[in-house]
Homo-oligomer: A and B are copies of this chain.
Amino acid sequence: MADHIHPIFDRLVSRNEKELFLNQKAKVFWFTGLSGSGKSTIAEAVERELFNLGHLVQVLDGDNIRTGICNNLSFSLEDRKENIRRISEVSKLMVSAGVIALNSFVSPTNDIRAYAKSIIGDADFHLIYVKASVETCEARDVKGLYEKARAGIIKGFTGIDSPFDEPTDVQLILDTESETKEESVKKAVTYIKSLI
């Protein structure tokens, strides 16, 4: 067991080898935006399009993160930061495996987005802002969350009683007030394809 006759690059399958095998570059595309902006709808449609084009892609969102790796975190400021840290670390592991990650999280402040970027690394982190005003998102209120936030049933809800910073360091903006879903998805796919 003790004879390490192979050099390390030969024993470990590198990210680069996995990317060549999958014929893609692994990256993290991070969708930020208010609840109801259309982040997850777009991320899921983008996953489908990229998969149909032959790419291996994984959506990370509240559904598979808050119920799993982050199921012991609250919505306190400290725990929100830890939530973002864990998502970022999971994304790095996906990228190590050659997989493209599509992350759909409100991630409301420029600080928290910069924190995610610092963990994932500048070269792999790409921020996509799914833009819609609070008024529009509240009018949509797909999950009834804005109503609950206005009624005080949910505290610290982003856009109501918790801040949302307009993203400053952003690579792509999808304005879901002026674009159709199909237009936003097409823009995102075109952008992502140019990088993978």
Contacts and interface: CB of A to CB of B under 8 A. Distances in A.
Contacts of A82: 72
A16 to B, nearest CB: 12
A192 interface: no
Nearest to A132: B1
11 contacts: A2-B142, A3-B181, A13-B47, A58-B97, A64-B96, A69-B69, A69-B86, A69-B90, A86-B86, A94-B94, A99-B99
Interface residues of A, number: 44
B97 A97 contact: yes
A86 B72 CA distance: 10
B1 A41 contact: yes
Contacts of A58: 93, 96-97
Nearest to A69: B89
Interface stretch (A17-25, A106-114, A153-161, A163-171): A17-25
A98 B56 contact: yes
Interface in A58-84: 58-60, 64, 68-69, 72, 82
A145 interface: no
Given A2-B142, A17-B51, A51-B17, A56 B22 contact: yes
Nearest to A60: B93
Contacts of A41: 1, 4
A150 interface: no
